[in-house]
Homo-oligomer: A and B are copies of this chain.
Amino acid sequence: MASSLTAAYPWTTAPLISCAPMRLIANASLAATVSLADGLGFIGAGSDISTLASELSNARDILSKANLPSPTGVLPIGVGFLLWGAPLKDTLAILSKPENIPAAVWLFAPRQPEDLKDWAEGIRSATSNKSKIWIQVTSVQEALAATKLAQPDVLVIQGTDAGGHGAAQGAGIISLVPEAIDAITDLCKTSSTPLPHFVATGGISDGRGVAAAIVLGAQGICLGTRYLAATEATIAPGYRDAVLRASDGGVSTIRSSVYDQLRGTTEWPAGYGGRGVLNASFRDHEAGVKFEDNKKLYEEAVESGDKGWEGERARLTTYAGTAIGLVTKIESAENITREVRDAANKLLLPGLRASL
């Protein structure tokens, strides 16, 4: 690691704020707006690349008007993939087109760790090393394995407070980030592995959380839950309003596999769970209601639309992290990005900030 994280994405301002590549939610408009606010936005391609080319085209349209000083021939946004589902060859065919090359590609949830190597090598080759490789990990052991296998440019260290999918069992970033950074730094000192940059995610919704993550050793951070309330996010009003209403995220959210089961998203490898607002679907599951009955109630809730997120009997999945209580208003992704960054910088030593 010769230079700072922001130097690799020259339109960004420290500390680097990114939006999580939330499947179905983080679209071209959200990603581009984060980048236009001097952050790094990610499109959430997830496991399905059927709309990837059109989303990249949409992002290009938005970004071309703004003329960001990005590296030549690179779109100043990233794209995130769920490796258990996304097809590598077809993905490379899209990303290798000169007009599509993203500044960063975010890899998560491989069926086996070795898939990280295939993806990292494939993307580096297809993009002539123009796309930086970001790999999200949820533990120290995953961080070590990913670094050895794929030499990522960035390790995204995800704490268990994160919304949506993560390790079913894990630590918060308060302990995970420093321990993972120490372990990777040791590894890279004693081998020829290049030291990655570190981005923290999970439980961060405002400038205090951003600054805390930087103090823990991260060079940049990623927000998910906070961007659920961005005007640019693709999100049902019922979902968004449920996020705005919820508070006390340690009590009001839970990490579980039941929401995936009810939605029929059953392809995730073992060991993952999704954190969402604790609702009647989960309570009935815990109370021993038969899956078929719970599923029927869930499907009725789907039919009811936004009402399916309302009240004591809310049943629809509301993936969100424990920092949900700090998300209290709808605003543009530009405002969110600038506000959390400015607030964080007021809490950081100038020398520390200058290193980012």
A residues sitting closer than 8 Å to B (CB atoms) are 138-141, 159-161, 167, 169-176, 178-179, 182-183, 202-206, 208-209, 211-213, 215-217, 247-251, 254, 321-323, 325-326, 347-349, 352
Contacts and interface: CB of A to CB of B under 8 A. Distances in A.
B205 A209 contact: no
A354 to B, nearest CB: 14
Given A171-B249, A178-B206, 18 more contacts: A140-B325, A160-B172, A161-B175, A167-B251, A169-B250, A170-B250, A172-B322, A174-B213, A174-B322, A175-B209, A175-B325, A178-B326, A179-B249, A179-B323, A179-B326, A211-B215, A212-B216, A347-B352
A81 to B, nearest CB: 24
A182 B206 CA distance: 12
Nearest to A182: B326
A321 B175 contact: yes
A321 B167 CA distance: 17
A49 B206 CA distance: 43
A287 to B, nearest CB: 16
Tallying the copies of this chain within the complex gives 2
A330 to B, nearest CB: 19
Q: 4 shortest A-B CB distances, which residue pairs?
A: A172-B172, A171-B250, A171-B322, A175-B323
Query: Which of A179, A247, A250, A347 has most B Cβ within 10 Å?
Result: A250
B171 A203 contact: yes
A209 to B, nearest CB: 6
A204 B217 CA distance: 14
Contacts of A322: 171-172, 174-176
Given A215-B208, A216-B208, A348-B349, A141 B248 contact: yes
A210 to B, nearest CB: 9
Contact of A203 (B169, B174, B248): B174
